[in-house]
Amino acid sequence: MNLNDTQITQINDQIKRLTQTESYYGKIYRGLGITGIRSQKDFEALPFSSKDDLRNAYPLGIQAVPDEQVVRIHSSSGTTGKPVIIPYTAKDVDDWATMFARCYETAGITNRDRIQITPGYGLWTAGIGFQAGCERLGAMAVPMGPGNTDKQIQMMIDLKSTVITATSSYALLLSEEIVKRGLKDQICLKKGVIGSERWSEKMRGSIREGLGIELYDIYGLTEIYGPGIGVNCEHENGIHYWDDYIYIEIIDPKTGRVLPDGEEGEIVITTLVKEGAPLLRFRTHDISRILPGKCACGSPYPRIDIIRGRSDDMFKMHGVNMFPSQVEDLLQNVDGVSSEYSVTIAHDDSANRDIMILMVEAEGRVSFEKTAAHIRELFKSRVGVTPKVTIVPVGTLPRSEKKTKRVTDYRFS
């Protein structure tokens, strides 16, 4: 999806804003002689920005406005190394609330709803984003924050909350508790707005049934405002994103080449009107694709597909993008199989083709031969890739904390 004229003007304003400052990107762009863009081609020649840049600029190196204009910061928790700090101006906070309110509206939520907010408040962008969007919409916020499940359920019943906002894991926990305590008849929930971490169909089904609600995936990341830059509509056909605030391109994560609409790759986001910390071509490492064409809901906003995984975890077989999470999703429905597995990918020189060897653990009570055949068929029909499957007894494979360690790729790339 190419930039329109308005977006090109907005990006030029962002470049101007940056190059007039001593900010991290201001210095980089000045050094590279970047003064603006006139075409799609110019834009695609701009360098990418990344989380590493933001870490290098810690704490406030990316700030692109004078101190007196910054009203708040948020931070993304760094699992590795330094955290990232993002400064917001009053307009940034305001824009974010507008986008978030639009997410609620897209999910069919109105000012008559009561929105129970369970994500955390504080440095993290989640709770406060859900709250600001709710207030902008004019709905009633029930600002619970995370945890304390007893009180959470009590408030949900007493205040007749109609919307729950949560991470997928907390929504699952709540739904299991409500089912276990036999309280489903007493809750008034109709919809759930769930943070966009990747979650399986199985989990989605449990939450949907346990709470008897419609589910909406909200997308966002701290570096780009926070959650609220996109959400799915009732047609559940991808995530609408707000192209008056952000521009999205999809790139090949290996080469950085921009991919045509419909092709899967890494989401790269450019902020169009951000003041505190504008970001051009920010690599998210989230994998999705732009869905071509209009949605049946008639929304003018473009769509990306639901997030398939992280580019860091992705491996490619016969041109098909695959993720460890996908392997897990397929294996979790196979009887007698443990959650441990290993994937080895190699190139068979004699046949000149890639082969995928999947090693899976199974309990002694099931036939290893039949289980292997079943898994082979499952992969063939669902993914279009047929692995060589080896079944070993439970406890054979090395236990590893990291998903990526389960995949070994011996191909030369």
297 binds Zn ion (CB under 5 A): yes
Distance between alpha carbon 148 and the CA centroid of its chain, in Å?
26
Q: Nearest CA to 65 among 80, 86, 46, 79? A: 86
Taking only Cα atoms into account, the Rg of the chain, rounded to an integer number of angstroms, comes to: 23
Question: Closest CB to Zn ion among 237 and 344?
Answer: 237
Report the nearest approach of Zn ion to the CB of residue 232 (Å).
7
Question: Closest CB to Zn ion among 139 and 233?
Answer: 233
Stretch that binds Zn ion, among 33-41, 184-192, 293-301, 333-341 (CB under 5 A): 293-301
Question: Closest CB to Zn ion among 33 and 300?
Answer: 300
| Binding residue count for Zn ion, defined by CB under 5 A | 5
Cα 393 from Cα 287, distance rounded (Å): 34
Report the nearest approach of Zn ion to the CB of residue 240 (Å).
6
User: Would you state the torsion angle of the CA atoms of residues 395, 396, 402, 405, taken in this order, to the nearest 10 degrees?
Assistant: -170
Which of 299, 338, 386, 396: binder of Zn ion (CB under 5 A)?
Answer: 299
Report the nearest approach of Zn ion to the CB of residue 235 (Å).
5
Contacts (CB under 5 A) with Zn ion, residues 34-73: none
Beta bridge mates, 303: 240, 291
Q: Which long-range contacts (CB under 8 A, 24 or more apart) does 323-329 make?
A: 323/287, 324/403, 324/404, 324/406, 324/407, 325/198, 325/200, 325/403, 326/383, 327/358, 327/406, 328/200, 329/200, 329/201, 329/202
Report the nearest approach of Zn ion to the CB of residue 71 (Å).
33
Cα 74 from Cα 396, distance rounded (Å): 44
Q: How far apart are the first and last CA of the chain?
A: 29
Report the nearest approach of Zn ion to the CB of residue 241 (Å).
11
Question: Closest CB to Zn ion among 196 and 342?
Answer: 196
User: Would you state the torsion angle of the CA atoms of residues 37, 86, 275, 249, taken in this order, to the nearest 10 degrees?
Assistant: 30
Stretch that binds Zn ion, among 132-140, 283-291, 299-307, 388-396 (CB under 5 A): 299-307
Report the nearest approach of Zn ion to the CB of residue 295 (Å).
3
306 binds Zn ion (CB under 5 A): no
295 binds Zn ion (CB under 5 A): yes
User: Taking CB under 5 A as the rule, which mask of x and - marks residues 218-257 in contact with Zn ion?
Assistant: ---------------x-x----------------------
Distance between alpha carbon 83 and the CA centroid of its chain, in Å?
19
Report the nearest approach of Zn ion to the CB of residue 56 (Å).
39
Cα 393 from Cα 372, distance rounded (Å): 13
Question: Closest CB to Zn ion among 307 and 391?
Answer: 307
Residues in contact with Zn ion by CB under 5 A are 233, 235, 295, 297, 299
